[in-house]
Amino acid sequence: MAAVDTKILLESGTNEIEIMEFTIAGDLFGINVAKVREILMPSAIKPMPQSHPAVEGVFKPRDRVITVINLPKYLGLPESSENGRDLFIITNFNKLHVAFRVHSVEGIDRISWSAIQKPDKTIYGGDSGVATGLAECGNRLVTILDFEKIVADIAPETGIQLSGIDKLERKDRDQRPIIVAEDSILLSKMIEEALVKAGYNNVMMFNNGQEAWDYLTEIRNEDNIYDKVSCIITDIEMPQMDGHRLTKLVKTDAILKKIPLIIFSSLINEEMQIKGKSLGADEQLSKPEIVHLVTVIDHLLEKNLKK
């Protein structure tokens, strides 16, 4: 099948997302189009010994070896579609290419992040849940999956590693608050733990861009605003308000634009770099790079102090 057009589909900072909808055993799920590279018919797969039960193996559609994850099996749903014509969704995030087996692809919808609700953690597994949002697309309710968490569950080494923080230079770090907008409960805890471990002891966590923006607008007119926020770190994919919209709001504000802002997301690639730069982000990093995040914060805060 033809490759998915993953060029810059939306104007930057509009707080919109394009969701590719797919089915497994009749249930409707969604993935951010920005993660999708192409849709392929299944082909011969080479099994890999001692791999996770949901890993079917690898295949090489062209010049790249790609791991295949059986998404129905991972989710505990029936593995075969009624007509037996499954599809592979080829994804790219966190600098990884992974194929996910699904039963059908239904189409693409563009909606606002404000129309996406965070699932009730008591129903969807709390920290360990793989549903990152519930979206209303027309009269359909679509469960958006946390594909980063799925891959990290299967291959923990691909996720954030806190061990590298111990190797960082020991020094006195800025104790002004750092604002972090991140909707994943698990990643929020890991980011906060990493920053505190590195010596940034004053970290304020927000569940999405809207909550972070509400706080920033609340304090923006105070005399000591720059003592209350030293740096802003934001994910891109978040319900209510995404990181690109937050970046645009911050960097077009006469007061807040002076605060360094880092986009920390699994979606960072060449296209997203262009988007983030056009919005005024000071730096953009891929999510596993937690040690690099700390060194970038060091650099930006040291540079700001010299101004």
- Domain end position, chosen among 98, 124, 156: 156
144 lies in the same domain as 222: no
Please tell me the predicted confidence (pLDDT) of residue 167. 76
Residue 193 lies in a domain: yes
Residue 114 lies in a domain: yes
The residue count for the chain? 307
pLDDT at position 259 over 70: yes
50 lies in the same domain as 35: yes
Residue 195 lies in a domain: yes
Determine the average pLDDT of the residues in 81-95.
83
67 lies in the same domain as 179: no
Confidence tier at 289 by pLDDT (50, 70, 90): confident
Across all residues in the chain, what is the average pLDDT?
87
176 lies in the same domain as 289: yes
E strands, the chain, in order? 16-24, 27-32, 36-40, 55-59, 66-70, 87-93, 96-102, 104-112, 116-117, 131-137, 140-145, 178-181, 203-206, 231-234, 261-265, 283-286
Determine the average pLDDT of the residues in 4-24.
75
**Residue 290: Cβ-neighbour burial (10 angstroms; 0-12, 13-18, 19+):** buried
Residue 6 lies in a domain: no
CA angle 108, 111, 116 (to 5 degrees): 115
Phi, psi of 282 (to 5 degrees): -75, -35
Please tell me the predicted confidence (pLDDT) of residue 79. 79
Q: Is the distance from CB of 158 to CB of 94 less than 8 angstroms?
A: yes
Q: Is the distance from CB of 237 to CB of 207 less than 8 angstroms?
A: no
pLDDT at position 6 over 70: no
Domains contained in the chain, number? 2
177 lies in the same domain as 56: no
166 lies in the same domain as 300: yes
Residue 1 lies in a domain: no
151 lies in the same domain as 225: no
Please tell me the predicted confidence (pLDDT) of residue 136. 85
- Domain end position, chosen among 119, 136, 156: 156
Residue 4 lies in a domain: no
Q: Per-residue pLDDT tens for 293-304? A: 999 999 999 887
State in Å, rounded, how far the first CA of the chain is from the last one: 53
State the CATH number of the domain containing residue 184: 3.40.50.2300
What is the residue range of 223's domain?
160-305
237 lies in the same domain as 150: no
Q: Is the distance from CB of 236 to CB of 243 less than 8 angstroms?
A: yes
Q: What DSSP string describes 22-83?
A: EEETTEEEEEEGGGEEEEE-----B--TT--TTEEEEE-SSSS-EEEEEHHHHHTS-SS-TT
- Domain end position, chosen among 114, 137, 156: 156
128 lies in the same domain as 251: no
- Letter string b/e over residues 170-208, b meaning 16 or more CB atoms within 10 A of that residue's CB: eeebbeebbbbbbbbbbbbebbbebbeebbbeebebbbb
125 lies in the same domain as 240: no
Residue 9 lies in a domain: no
State the CATH number of the domain containing residue 119: 2.40.50.180
Determine the average pLDDT of the residues in 122-144.
75
Q: Is the distance from CB of 261 to CB of 251 less than 8 angstroms?
A: yes
Give the whole-number percent of the chain exceeding pLDDT 90. Answer: 59
Q: Per-residue pLDDT tens for 53-77? A: 999 999 998 889 999 999 999 999 9
Of 173 and 20, which is predicted with more confidence?
20
Residue 3 lies in a domain: no
Confidence tier at 230 by pLDDT (50, 70, 90): very high
122 lies in the same domain as 166: no
181 lies in the same domain as 278: yes
Place of tokens 């989710």: 75
